[in-house]
Amino acid sequence: MFACYVVLLAWLDWIIHRSVVFVIVVGGGLIAAAVLRSRIAERLRPQLERLEEIPVPVQRLLISLAPLVYFLLRGQGTSGAGFAVTAAGALVASAVVFLGPKIDPPLGPFYAVRDRLLARWVRVLLAPVFGILVAFLVVHGSLADLPALFGGTTESPQSPVDESGRFFLATLLAGTGTVLLLREGGEKAR
């Protein structure tokens, strides 16, 4: 499943930047790192032991913010909403890491119904699709331009510029919805 997410990320990066070298190097590097993770962990053990001194919630937050670092390093496209997306992503990640154990009990019935209706593998496949659709709908106001993601034509060929508020809201909604699809609540999360 990790490889599928890497392929999705590579495809989205290709649509935005059209850089074959970057897609191959980063995508291949991520897949190689996943395959060789035990060997990499063995070599990095001294550094990893120092990281264990950091409180567990902060460790989880740092790990969850890694995609935002990618976003900032790779560029934010033509929208100019990089700060808004980064702030909203960090807000969702922080809420999940620090408040997750407190909100899981009230969400227990939701998790039970969700798990009954959607198998885990379906939720894992649905999560990126849901996030992309929600974000696209909020930012563009319509799904009519969705073919642009697949190289198709669109009536509005440019991303909305100076719409940071929309990007912030889109990231909040997409992130929260994705968390609700994927989070294992209650006893499973501990």
The model's pLDDT over 146-183, given as tens digits with 9 standing for 90+, comes to 776 666 666 665 555 567 788 889 889 999 999 999 99
Mean pLDDT of the chain, nearest integer:
77
Is the per-residue pLDDT at 73 higher than 70? no
CA atoms within 13 A on the CB side of 175: 22
> Residue 52 class from Cβ within 10 Å (0-12 exposed, 13-18 middle, 19+ buried)?
exposed
The residue that leads in pLDDT, 41 or 136, is 136
Instruction: Please state the pTM of the whole predicted model.
Output: 0.67
In this prediction, residue 78 carries a pLDDT of: 53
Token output for 40 = 């990499």
Percent of the chain scoring above 90 in pLDDT: 23
